[in-house]
Amino acid sequence: MIDKKIEEYSNYCLNCKVKPCSQKGCPLSNDIPAFIKCVKDEDLKQAYMILTKTTMLGSVCGRICPHEKQCQGSCVRGIKSEPVHIGEIEAYVFDNGLKNEYYKEIEKSNTQKDKKIAVIGSGPASLNASAFLAMAGADVTIYEKYDELGGILSHGIPEFRLNRDVLNSTINQILSLGIKIKKGITLGKDIDLEELKKNYDAVFLGIGANVPAKMNIPGEELEGVFGGNTLLENGNHPDYTDKIVAVSGGGNVAMDCARTIKRLGAKKVYVIYRRAEEQMPAEKKEIVDAKNEGIEFLFQNNIVKIIGDEKVKRVECIKTVLVQKEGETRLSPVNIEGSNYELDVDYVVMAVGSKPDKNILSKLNLELNEWGYINVDENYKTSDDKVYAGGDLIGQKATVAWAAKAGRDAAKAIERKLKKIYI
End residue of a domain, out of 86, 105, 124:
105
Q: Can you tell me the distance from the alpha carbon of 342 to that of 361, in angstroms, rounded to the nearest whole number? A: 39
Q: How far apart are CA 113 and CA 71, in angstroms?
A: 35
Are 349 and 410 in the same domain? no
* Residue 231 counted as domain residue: yes
**42: nearest Cα among 12, 8, 2, 99:** 2
Instruction: Please give the full DSSP string across 303-359, using - where no structure is assigned.
Output: EEEEEESSBEEEEEEEEEEEE--TT-SS-EEEE-TT--EEEE-SEEEE-S-EE--HH
Q: Is residue 302 part of a domain?
A: yes
Q: Decide if 110 is inside a domain.
A: no
- d(CA 236, CA 247) in angstroms, rounded, equals 16
Residues 156, 205, single domain; the answer is yes
Do 216 and 318 lie in one domain? The reply is: yes
Say yes or no: 346 and 366 in one domain. no
Same domain, 347 and 362: no
Segment holding 133, helix H or strand E: helix 124-135
Number of separate domains in the chain: 3
One domain, residues 202 and 257: no
Question: Is 268 within 8 Å of 262 (Cβ atoms)?
Answer: no
AA letter at 101: E
The whole-angstrom separation of Cα 416 and Cα 74 is 32
C-alpha 184/C-alpha 201 separation (Å) is 22
Residue closest to 134 by CA, chosen among 179, 72, 98, 180: 179
Of 146, 102, 152, the C-alpha closest to 125 is 152
> Which of 297, 322, 353 marks a domain boundary?
353
321 shares its domain with 297: yes
> 349 and 220 in one domain?
yes
Give the CATH number of the domain where residue 240 resides.
3.50.50.60
For position 25, which CATH number holds? 1.10.1060.10
Bridge partners, residue 311, by sequence = 223
Within a domain: residue 396? Answer: yes
Final residue in a domain of this structure, among 53, 74, 105: 105
Task: Identify whether 111 is part of a domain.
Answer: no
**What is the residue type of 423?**
I
| Rounded CA separation 332/101 (Å) | 49
Strand 116-120 relative to strand 202-205, pairing: parallel
- pLDDT by residue for the chain (423 residues), tens only, comes to 899 999 999 999 999 999 999 999 999 999 999 999 999 999 999 999 999 999 999 999 999 999 998 999 999 999 999 999 999 999 999 999 999 999 999 988 887 888 999 999 999 999 999 999 999 999 999 999 999 999 999 999 999 999 999 999 999 999 999 999 999 999 999 999 999 999 999 999 999 888 888 899 999 999 999 999 889 988 889 999 999 999 999 999 999 999 999 999 999 999 999 999 999 988 888 999 999 999 999 999 999 999 999 999 999 999 999 998 888 888 899 999 999 999 999 999 999 988 888 889 999 999 999 988 999 999 999 999 999 999 999 987 668 999 999 999 999 999 999 987 654
Q: Are residues 365 and 417 in the same domain?
A: yes
CA-to-CA distance for 236 and 216, rounded, in angstroms? Answer: 23
Residue 94 covered by a domain: yes
Per DSSP, what are the bridge partners of residue 389?
A: 205
DSSP string covering 206-266: -----EEP----TTTTSBTEEEHHHHHHH------BT-EEEEE--SHHHHHHHHHHHHTTB
Q: Alpha-carbon distance 92 to 249, whole Å? A: 32
Instruction: Report the amino acid identity of residue 159.
Output: E
Question: Residue 17: helix, strand or coil by DSSP?
Answer: coil
Range of the domain at 282: 212-353
Counts of helices then strands in the chain (DSSP H, E): 15, 16
**Do 254 and 225 have their domain in common?**
yes
Residue 52 resides in a domain: yes
Same domain, 128 and 97: no
Q: Is residue 181 part of a domain?
A: yes
Name residue 350's amino acid: M
Longest CA span, the chain: 70
Looking at the fold, whether 243 and 346 belong to one and the same domain comes out as yes
Q: Rounded to whole angstroms, how far apart are CA atoms 81 and 278? A: 19
